[in-house]
Every structure is written in C-alpha cells, then in structure tokens.
C-alpha cells in the first residue's frame, strides 16, 4: 500500500509499505479521507517525531476484522480517534482523558495518511460509526471539532457572554460557529488577514476585525464598553498572541490557550494583576471520547460542515501535478489537498 511519510516539514514522500494484517481484536480500515492538523505543519512539533506517517483526522471503511468483535464489522464507515483513554485510571475518572497514559500511548498504525491503517483495541473505545447523512469530508471534522467543543467547555462559555476568538483559520471559524450555537452574546473574530476577518460574520460573529496589538485592544474596549471579553480563545501558538488575549480579557474572564507554543518560550505575567482581576489562563489540549461524540452530533445536526469551512479548492490538474512532485524523493515543498476516494458501497 502507499503511505505519505514525513521526513521533515516540507519533505513528504509517497512510499510503498506492506499492508498491515489485523491481529486478534484489531481492525483494518481502508482510508477514505484524512485531514491535516495545524500541529502537523508546526516544524518544532513534527521534527521531533519524524520520520512518521502523519494524519490523525481519518475517515475510512472497515476492511477486515481480526477475530470476533462486538460492534464492528467489515463495511462499517468509521471515524477513528488516534488516541483513546483507558476510562478507568484516576485521570479518566476526573474526565481528564488526555492525561491518561493509555491515551498518550495509543496511536493509529502507521497513520491516517495511508491507504490502510490498523485500529488497536484501545483505540476502538473512540471509534465511531458514521451515519449515512455524514459525508466523508464532514466525518474528517470530528476530531478537530471535538477539540473546539473541549475548548469552549474549558472556557465555561455561558449564554450571553462575550467572546473574542484570535486567529481565524478553520479552528477559529469553528469556535465562532459553536459560540453562536451555544448562545454567546457579543462574538468577535480577529485575524491579521483582512480576507479571514471578512469571513467571520458568515460563521456567526458579530464583528470580524483585521487587527492586532493595541489596535485590537482599542476596538475590543469600544465594542464591550471598556469591559473586555468574558472569554478569549487564543488560536496562534505564539507568546505575542497569548499576551494579547490576556490583555483583551475582562475581569473574571477566561483565556484559553488553544495551541501549544514552542518549548523554551516564556510568558511574562504579573501575578498581582491576575490575582485582582481573577483572569484565568486555561490550556486546552486535544479531546477525548465525550467531545468526539458531541462533535459528531453537531456535524450530524448540520451545525458544522466541511462545505462551510472550505476556503479554497485546487483544480484537479494542479493536485495531480503536486502529487507527482511529492512522490519523488527530495520533493519540492508543496501543500496538497487530495480529493477523497469514492465511498465504498459496503
């Protein structure tokens, strides 16, 4: 089978490897579509893992079942989470599934950007059958949407509260859409790029601001009557964005760090100011089974869809040309979106 193996950021090679054979209680899944996570294009994050077959937002159809398994059979179309918890350890009992040792050790074999991948028994705890009304591309949204569900839960966003989302990539846009769905009051999206800011309102925001730094703080003070935002979601994994998010937050607000920063970076804070303003800085890392199930329900209900989030489509000829370049060793540095294969009739 073919796999896309990453040796470095910008060096992804299409290679041949043996198709995995499912062992007892394992599933072999034929990939139909797979997303590329923001983390998979972060150099510091991927270089420490390379070489590897990336891809952890997959949708596929079960090709083989190793032995007798209750709940799954060949032909089932599924979303598979690349990490799944044990559900019994102290972290799991607290609902902190991403802190579970089993969650962190589990993985897809070899990865989602392969024609086939194995699903170990532990990962089947977060393997979801997809209803017919959920397309392959919408199914790819389950994992990233689950991360957004968890982020807003950790923010404890309440109906009527104001929210600022900094960074309007796909994850930022999903935050806007779900904030509106959850009944937030004032919803503001901010990005450095004007074209992204303009897309904020169609996704549910009241305002889309192409601003940063002091300009963004001034606009937020105006929009909130000087109070600042009740919730701030910081999408970019930079110290500057985190500092901006804290400065834009009102008293008693929650600031969510949604993306990891590179190791070694330090954020200078004045504990005195945080204490009296009671601003909470809360990280939100990945998601667990309760969030993936909630995400699938939102997708099934039409609250989130791939079509509403697509910002660019590559002509097929351009995709084929890029694929040919990636397939050669020492390929040119390209970013490619491949069309999903046709859905299996099984």
Q: pLDDT tens per residue, the chain (346 residues)?
A: 999 999 988 888 899 999 999 999 999 999 999 988 888 878 888 888 889 999 999 999 999 999 877 789 999 999 999 999 999 999 999 999 999 999 999 999 999 999 999 999 999 999 999 999 999 999 999 999 999 999 999 999 999 999 999 999 999 999 999 999 999 999 999 999 999 999 999 999 999 999 999 999 999 999 999 999 999 999 999 999 999 999 999 999 999 999 999 998 888 888 888 889 999 999 999 999 999 999 999 999 999 999 888 766 656 566 556 545 544 433 333 333 334 444 443 3
Residue 319: its pLDDT value, please?
Answer: 53
Task: State how far the Cα of 143 lies from the Cα of 116, in Å rounded to an integer.
Answer: 19
Sheet holding 27-35, edge to edge: 116-119, 27-35, 57-65, 77-80, 127-129
Domain extent listing, the chain: 2-130+312-326, 146-283
Exposure string over 128-146, b if 16+ CB within 10 A, otherwise e = bebeeebbbbbbbbbbbbb
Residue in the structure block whose two tokens are 């032995």: 67
Per-residue pLDDT at 313 = 63
Question: HSE of 234 in the Cβ direction (CA atoms, 13 Å)?
Answer: 26
The helix/strand/coil state of 39 is helix
Q: Evaluate whether 2-130+312-326 and 146-283 have a shared fold.
A: no
pTM of the predicted structure, to 2 decimals: 0.89
- Give the pair of three-digit tokens for residue 10: 């910008």
Give the per-residue pLDDT at 312: 61
Q: Does domain 2-130+312-326 have CATH number 3.90.180.10?
A: yes
146-283: which CATH topology?
Rossmann fold (3.40.50)
């Amino acid at each position: 089978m073919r796999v896309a193996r990453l040796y470095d950021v910008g060096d992804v090679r299409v290679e041949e490897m043996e198709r995995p054979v499912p062992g007892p209680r394992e599933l072999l899944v034929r990939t139909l579509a797979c997303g590329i996570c923001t983390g998979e294009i972060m150099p510091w994050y991927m270089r420490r893992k390379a070489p590897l077959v990336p891809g952890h937002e997959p949708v596929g159809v079960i090709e083989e079942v190793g032995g007798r398994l209750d709940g799954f059979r060949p032909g089932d179309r599924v979303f598979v989470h690349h990490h799944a918890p044990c559900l019994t350890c102290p972290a799991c009992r607290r609902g902190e599934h991403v802190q579970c040792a089993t969650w962190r050790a589990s993985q897809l074999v070899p990865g989602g950007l392969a024609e086939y991948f194995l699903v170990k028994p532990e990962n089947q705890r977060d393997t979801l059958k997809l209803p017919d009304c959920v397309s392959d591309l919408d199914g790819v949204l389950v994992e990233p949407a689950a991360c957004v569900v968890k982020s807003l839960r950790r923010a404890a966003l309440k109906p009527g509260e104001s929210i600022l989302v900094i960074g309007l990539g796909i994850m930022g846009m999903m935050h806007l859409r779900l904030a509106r769905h959850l009944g937030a009051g004032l919803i503001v999206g901010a990005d450095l790029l004007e074209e992204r800011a303009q897309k904020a309102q169609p996704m549910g925001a009241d305002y889309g601001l192409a601003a940063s730094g002091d300009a963004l703080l001034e606009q937020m003070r105006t929009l909130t009557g000087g109070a600042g935002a009740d919730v701030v979601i910081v999408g970019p994994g930079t110290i500057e964005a985190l500092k901006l998010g804290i400065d834009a937050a009102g008293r008693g607000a929650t600031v969510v760090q949604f993306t990891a920063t590179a190791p070694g970076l330090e954020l200078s804070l004045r504990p005195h100011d945080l204490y009296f303003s009671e601003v909470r800085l809360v990280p939100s890392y990945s998601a667990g089974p309760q969030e993936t199930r909630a995400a699938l329900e939102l997708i099934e209900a039409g609250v989130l869809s791939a079509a509403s989030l697509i910002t660019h489509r590559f002509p097929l000829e351009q995709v084929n040309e890029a694929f040919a370049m990636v397939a050669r060793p020492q390929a040119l540095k390209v970013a490619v979106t491949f069309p999903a294969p046709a859905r299996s009739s099984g």
